Structure 1
Amino acid sequence: MLTTITPSKESSVNAVCPPSCICNDETLTVVCKENLLNEVPITLNPSIERLILKQNRIKTVDVAAFQFYGSLRHIDFSFNQLVKIPPQALVKQSRLIELHLNHNKLSNITDKTFVGLIALTVLNLRSNYLEDLPDKVFKPLIHLKELDLGQNRIQRIDSGTFEGMSMLKVLFLDDNQLTRVPTISFQFLASLAELRIGLNSFRNLTNESFLGLNSLTTLDLSGAELVNISDHAFQGLNNNLRNLILTDNRLVTIPTKQLSKLSRLEELSIGQNPFPSLLKNSFKGLTNLRNLVISGAPELTTIESGAFSDNLNLESLALISNKRLSYVAEGVLTGLPNLKDLVLRDNGFTTFKESLAAWPELRKLDLSDNQLECECSLVWLRDLLLQRNTTHVLCASPSSLKDKPLKFLTSEDLGCSTYVGSHQTIIGAICGIVVALIALLLFLAYRYRHKVHDVFKNYEWRKQTKVNTKQAEYQKTFNDDEFIIRTAQHQTLKPIPVTEL
């Protein structure tokens, strides 16, 4: 375990703090920012642990100067004019934990550059002029955990570049000139958890592009100019990958099949791609997805039914600045039982349906910067916004309500009184017509009551006559003579005794 060295009285007395620098012998920190320094001061307290030399004019690391400061744990050379670091210039810095060399003009590093930095855990080389990374260049850094090589000009990474870096957790390779993923170079990075490799020119991800990165939890491929992703490009990442960033590429469809292999994925950002719609089961297989961000998709117009049918654990959905997005199918959001945060900001919506989502159950809601037509159908939304501490939702039309907050408008402002009045007028007119018809029928019945009576009387007479006629016909069928004859015949028929048989 490293211990802090307290400066001796002799070292404090002999130390000289350069003009405009801040030297603190209690915290063992020296800060010389924007001092126009051309070299590392050699008159500082030899026991200092933090040396901040940001924004100066230093062009090289003086080997002799650093021989005086063997207790350094933090060095910041950022925003200088460093063009080279002599071999073994930092060999005496066995206690150094962080080294910041970002925003300089370094174009070359070798396997001798970092010799002696056995305790280093953070190395920042962002925004330099590095073009290639030779074999074993970082091998002395056996305890390095974070390496930032972003914003350089790297075109080539040798197969053994990362040899000896078994403890590396975070690697930045973004914003370089790589044309393919340096898969073979990853073989020594079994502990890598975070890889930022966007803003390159890959175009295609071949099968097993990230082979060997079995511990990877975050993969950033934003701005990598991806057009195609092979079916097994993410092979080997399915057990641990939690966060995938695919924004700002050239994907014309959601890579559903490729993503389905990442069953443990929890966060996905896939905006700024030219896909026109989210189809049914677009994110099939992502059953653990909790956070989905789709922003700046220029061609996105619709979200079809069932788009999130496999994502029932989704808690946060952000659809932001998709200027043409105006349609979300019925039930798409209500089918997400765990949805708590919903951001629909700066899209092409002109209205929102009350049935679109379980609005009262949302923890966060942002509907701002849409082109809303404020009318009576949005009274429910006005009432919802009044109950919540949300961002202002402004009206885009009609012109009389333009740029006015919806939550502060009255029902009359939204035209509800006119709407209700017109319906009442129609209902009243129908009732009036019905009453008039009933009155007319009663009037006619009273005026022609005698004729009506005669009609009913004739009807009853005809009905009675018909009954009498039927009775007469029935009686005719059996006259008296026939009845006598039939009776006599019946009496002559005697039963035959059983004994006579």
Structure 2
Amino acid sequence: MQSLFIFQINNFLLFQALNMPPAMVYLTIVAFLLTSTLSVDALGCPTGCMCNDDTYVVQCERSKLDVIPITLNPAIQRLVLRSNKIKTVDASFQFYRDLQYVDLSNNHLVNIPTKSFLHQEKLQELHLNENKLSSINNKTFQGLKSLTVLNLRRNFLEELTRGLFSVLPKLEELNLGENRIFKIDELAFEGLLSLRVLYLDDNSLSSVPTPSFPVLGSLAELHVGLNSFTSLPDDAFSGLGKLSVLDINSAGLSNISTYAFRGLTGLRSLSLGDNRLQQIPTLQLSQLCRLEELTIGQNQFTAIGKGCFKGLINLRKIDITGASYLERIEKGAFSDNLNLETIILASNKKLATLEDGALVGLPNLKRLVLRENSFKTLLESMTSWNELRALELTDNPINCDCQLLWLLNSINSKNLTNVQCSTPPQLRDRSLRTLTADDLGCSFGDPRQQAIIITLCVSATILLGALGLFLFRYRQRVREALKDYKWNKRAISRKEHEYQKTFSDDDYITRTTQHHIKPIPVTEL
């Protein structure tokens, strides 16, 4: 191993000498002679690095290196040179032909010479993010036949030319985010038959690079947010039939054409947050029948109306966060989304109204996030609370009165989120969990009893009012009926009196004798 190592270093020095000015040849020869007497221990791990010859891992993070070390174990497989001062990738890489992972992120790389990775046939991950690379060509990555991940994020790239990545047949993830890309050739991604994840976010694209998509038939995840789009035309993502995740956050969208998402039959996750949409694009979204997750906060709509998400029958999670204009959620807003499990309505500062029944009919709802809104109270009839496992209500101006007794009972029984009272003044900053029915001003502990009593009182009031109205309307007839009743009663009383006078005791005895009735003897005491 030692002789092989020294042999490789000597070759490198000779190679450098051939490319140096004559004045430097002498010094190179001296270095060549010196290396012949050096041992592996003398050439070992550079200062500030950690080298493990058992796992073949070398870490030189923040080690103030300005060149790639040439004295490492040639059998290393993982090389981390993150956060140093390295300015270029030189021929030293030819020593390390077993490399599988290389991290050169956060250095001072300005360019990468052609064929720098020619001997890295086993390399699978290459991280060149956070450097100063302004250009690359189709020979930059020549030799990387096994590369699956290439990270070029946060550089100064401006243009992607034709066949730029055609030498990377096994590439699965390509990160080009946070560059200055304004132009992409139609065949820039030619040859990337295995590409699954593509980041083009935070660049200078003025439109979706639709013409360059047809060669990406295997793409499953696309990030194109933080660009300068104003609209999505019809068939904006044509050719991406296998796309599962689409992120268009912060793209400046104000208009989405009716058939912008046509062809995305397998899309499962869509992010449209932080754009300029003034209403929910119901018709456009209805074509995404397999959509399971939707993020659409930080837009300019004021209400979520009935059937806004019509057609999204497989939707499981919806996130509406930071919609600064949103004021109300109307009844039936999620009536077509029976598979919803998570609803996030957070940080919507004007949202104060959840209409009665707005969340009714969602049998699978498990998590409801309502934090940082303007809710003062919540109705028990708003949704079915039996299946709910998590409720977040923090940072709302909650008014703690008897209307929230049902929520108090739910918190105590299900251990849901903590709720702090804002009003009335005597309960300000008190936790709802610590209050009682009396604290909330409830006369009865059970709200159902209150409902029954209120119903009875209202019914009695209605009946008494109806009876009073009836008597007032027919008062003349009632008066005459009462007068007749009194007169008849007096007549009956006179007849009874006369009848009683007609029959004396003697007459009674005589009449009973005539009818052969034996008189009852009277015994004097």
TM-score > 0.5, shorter chain as reference: yes
Code of the residue aligned with 1:323 in structure 2: it is K
Code of the residue aligned with 1:364 in structure 2: it is A
Between 1:91-100 and 1:391-400, the stretch displaced more is: 391-400
- 1:463 Cα deviation (Å)? 10
Q: Tell whether 2:96 aligns with 1:69.
A: yes
In structure 1, C-alpha distance between the alignment counterparts of 2:410 and 2:2, rounded to whole Å = 67
Name the residue aligned to 2:478: none
Do the aligned residues in 2 keep the contact of 1:360 with 1:384 (CA within 8 Å)?
Answer: no
Name the residue aligned to 2:137: 110
Residue number among 479, 490, 498 corresponding to 1:460 in the alignment: 490
In structure 2, C-alpha distance between the alignment counterparts of 1:141 and 1:366, rounded to whole Å = 47
C-alpha deviations, 1:175-196, integer Å up to 9, x for none? 1110000001111100000001
C-alpha deviations, 1:138-172, integer Å up to 9, x for none? 11010000000001111111111000001000000
In structure 1, C-alpha distance between the alignment counterparts of 2:491 and 2:209, rounded to whole Å = 110
Do the aligned residues in 1 keep the contact of 2:363 with 2:387 (CA within 8 Å)?
Answer: no
In structure 1, C-alpha distance between the alignment counterparts of 2:301 and 2:285, rounded to whole Å = 16
**Count of matched residue positions in the alignment of Structure 1 and Structure 2:** 431
User: Compared with structure 1, are the counterparts of its residues 464 and 187 closer, same or farther at alpha carbon in structure 2 (3 Å cutoff)?
Assistant: same
Do the aligned residues in 1 keep the contact of 2:419 with 2:432 (CA within 8 Å)?
Answer: yes
In structure 2, C-alpha distance between the alignment counterparts of 1:66 and 1:165, rounded to whole Å = 25
Q: Tell whether 2:427 aligns with 1:401.
A: yes
Do the aligned residues in 1 keep the contact of 2:110 with 2:134 (CA within 8 Å)?
Answer: yes
TM-score (norm 2): 0.78
C-alpha deviations, 1:9-35, integer Å up to 9, x for none? 975946510011000001101000111
Q: Tell whether 2:372 aligns with 1:346.
A: yes
C-alpha deviations, 1:241-295, integer Å up to 9, x for none? 0000000000000000100111111110100001010111101111111111111
Name the residue aligned to 2:385: 359
- 1:391 Cα deviation (Å)? 2.8
Q: Tell whether 2:249 aligns with 1:219.
A: no
TM-score (norm 1): 0.82
Equivalent positions of 1:178-327 (< 5 A) are 178-238=205-265, 240-327=266-353
- 1:457 Cα deviation (Å)? 7.1
Q: Tell whether 2:184 aligns with 1:157.
A: yes
Code of the residue aligned with 1:314 in structure 2: it is L
Q: Tell whether 2:73 aligns with 1:45.
A: yes
Show structure 1 runs of 5+ residues with no match. Answer: 1-6, 435-451, 466-501
Q: Tell me the C-alpha RMSD between the 2 structures.
A: 2.5
In structure 1, C-alpha distance between the alignment counterparts of 2:494 and 2:267, rounded to whole Å = 96
- 1:330 Cα deviation (Å)? 1.7
Name the SS for the 2:380 alignment partner. coil
In structure 1, C-alpha distance between the alignment counterparts of 2:360 and 2:236, rounded to whole Å = 37
Name the SS for the 1:370 alignment partner. coil
Name the residue aligned to 2:500: none
Show structure 2 runs of 5+ residues with no match. Answer: 6-38, 465-481, 496-525
- 1:390 Cα deviation (Å)? 2.9
Name the SS for the 2:51 alignment partner. strand
User: Compared with structure 1, are the counterparts of its residues 410 and 116 closer, same or farther at alpha carbon in structure 2 (3 Å cutoff)?
Assistant: same
Name the residue aligned to 1:477: none
C-alpha deviations, 1:394-420, integer Å up to 9, x for none? 111122222211111122322225999
Identity %: 52
Name the SS for the 2:150 alignment partner. strand
In structure 1, C-alpha distance between the alignment counterparts of 2:314 and 2:236, rounded to whole Å = 23
Code of the residue aligned with 1:390 in structure 2: it is L
Name the residue aligned to 1:59: 87
Do the aligned residues in 1 keep the contact of 2:360 with 2:383 (CA within 8 Å)?
Answer: yes
Q: Tell whether 2:175 aligns with 1:175.
A: no
C-alpha deviations, 1:426-478, integer Å up to 9, x for none? x9xx9xxx9xxxxxxxxxxxxxxxxx9xx95785339989xxxxxxxxxxxxx
